[in-house]
Structures are given as C-alpha cells and as structure tokens.
Amino acid sequence: MKGKYVKGKRITYDGSQLRSLWAFTEHNVQGNSIIAFRGPCAVEGEALVDVKDRKEGRVIRSDDMVHFVVELFDSDLRRTIVLQRLLMCIIKDVIEQMKPEIMVTRRGDDLFIEVDEEGVDDRKLSVSIATASPVSTLIHAGVNILSSNTPVPTLGLQDLEIPVDDFAVTVLERFVREMKEMELARCQVRAVE
C-alpha cells in the first residue's frame, strides 16, 4: 500500500477520479494506493456512483474538502466496503484526537457531529462511496473543510479548527500503516487443525 498527499494543488473531485489506474496515470503511484488531495466537490447526474442518490436527483457538493481516493487490486467489493468503513473510523479517530472535546458519530460510511442531544440537528462531516472497476476496487472519502454551499447541514475542519494538511497526512499515514499491518498479520500465523 502506497500513499501520496498532493499538497499545494487544488483538484475538483467530480467523480472522474473514481476510475481504475487514476493514481498511476495522474500521480505516478502504481498498485494498491491512497491519494489525498484538497479541492471542491461537485458530483451529480451520471457521475454519481450511488444509483439510489442518482434516482433521487441528489448532488454531492462542497466548496472545499479533503479527498481520499483508494484503489485496491487484490480485493472484492465486500472487502473494499469493510476497508471503506475502516478508513472512516480512522478519519473519526484523527478528528477526535486532534480535537478531544469533539465527539464524532459514525453511521455506516458517514460521519456526523451531534449539535443537540436528540440528534435532530446533526451536521454531516463526510461523504464516501465504494465501487468496483474491471481491474480494481475503489473508495472515495471526502471530509468537508468548509461548511458553506453544501446540500445538507454540514460542519467542516475549518469550523473545528483542525489544520487541513496535518489532518490529511495523518489519515493517509494511518491508513497505509493499517493496511501494511494487516498484511503482516496475515503472514505470521500458523495453520490450526
């Protein structure tokens, strides 16, 4: 598993990045990988991978996000969805470690901050999707930096006073480490009868 943070270059996530070999063709990172970058998000219509969202006419939009695009060449979609949720747990952990006074709630592959005790006014922090291509499986996770111009009530890293670059690098490094440690764990146990 390789990771790269594309620092200093804004990339608009429009769904086209969720394709096989994007990390290799655009960022020269070959094999299982996670690429992190910053930029707006604008996904709608045919670019939506989630068919339910597409049928409901939803849009995914944010003026500024940290994006993580994962590509796996040795995984099926079920395992990739599990790894997508692991990535969301890592993002949750990093936010809570950088801001211990904040409690983040994970519901499936979405992260929220509860604004009131009844959960009526929860603010969404993230978007995420997992899918398959002919040669790999892919994950996109985006975390709001700004909370303006989003189709649902949100909070972002800026609202939480979390430094964007530190956050992106920490999440990327932890995901790479988890993936490497899982591979080693798989290779160090003996068979049982």
CATH of the domain at 92: 3.30.930.10
Residue 126 to residue 165: CA distance in whole angstroms: 17
User: pLDDT tens digits for 88-101?
Assistant: 999 999 999 999 99
DSSP H helices, the chain, are: 22-27, 51-55, 77-98, 164-186
Quote the domain boundaries for residue 8.
2-186
Inside any domain, residue 23: yes
Inside any domain, residue 13: yes
Give 32's pLDDT tier (boundaries 50, 70, 90).
very high
DSSP state of 47: G
Inside any domain, residue 192: no
Per 3-state DSSP, what percentage of the chain is helix, strand, and coil (rounded to 5)? 30, 30, 35
Counting the structural domains of the chain, the total is 1
Interval 8-15 mean pLDDT = 94
Interval 37-59 mean pLDDT = 86
Interval 8-37 mean pLDDT = 96
DSSP state of 154: B
| 38, β-bridge pairs | 10, 66
What is the model's pLDDT at position 117?
Answer: 61
Task: Identify whether the C-beta of residue 129 lies closer than 8 Å to the C-beta of residue 28.
Answer: no
